[in-house]
Amino acid sequence: MSCLMIFGKKYMDEDLGLNELVKETMFIAARPNLGDYIPFLGVFDLQGLSRRMKELSKPFDEFLERVINEHLHKVNEQNQAKDIVDKLMGIMNSNEAVFEFNHHHVKAILLAIYYSNSTDTSSTTVEWILSEVLRHPDVMKKHQNDIERVMVIKEGFRLHLVAPLLIPHESVEDLINVWAIGRDPNVWPEPENFKLERFLECNIDLRGHDFQLLPFGSGRRSCPVMQLGLTIF
């Protein structure tokens, strides 16, 4: 599904091993790293995490090269819908970008979008939301007409974020604890309770305009596939 949305084509995992590649990458990224706790040890890579990450980057780089080459050589029909790769290649070839934008930038953006969309971020969030709804049948019955509306998604995002901390900006020492924001009793009465009615007459937005709820972050460093995620939800 991710490949179809991003690259305009399904790629068989048996051929490319993409699922296993993503799973191992995320497994390594989630492992405790000594360098995060004792910074001067980071340069020694005692656990071999950086080395393994570099090894995993090679097959994925080859895959992205294959995708881009396929798009360079294909002839689009006039009415054929273009995918994200086509759009990025169009920007690169137009020379209209006000900043440097080349082949490597295209691969970097595709990598970010693919990993953001292919990891268990969306599926985990949906599972947690369904778990909360099933654990609170009284809430589900009370809000039966609203169950498919945005309130369920917002309350689910408030309680179960994809990650507890936002991606650091230039300063890697100041991290935004969005998990704590979503459970701040000064903002959310009874923060540990699953209550859809808190969003009944509330215009809090999911796109980072309201700092009480930041599932995708805010500003220029927000989630690169935010719109895609909202469309799926």
DSSP states of 160-194 as a string? S-S-SBPPP-S-SS---BHHHHTT-TTTSSSTTS-
Retrieve residue 91's tokens.
């920007």
Residues forming a β-bridge with 177: 165
Residue 162 has phi, psi (to 5 degrees) of -60, -40
Q: Is 223 assigned a ligand-binding role in the annotation?
A: yes
Q: Which residues fall in the annotated binding site? A: 223
Q: Which residues fall in the annotated binding site for heme? A: 223
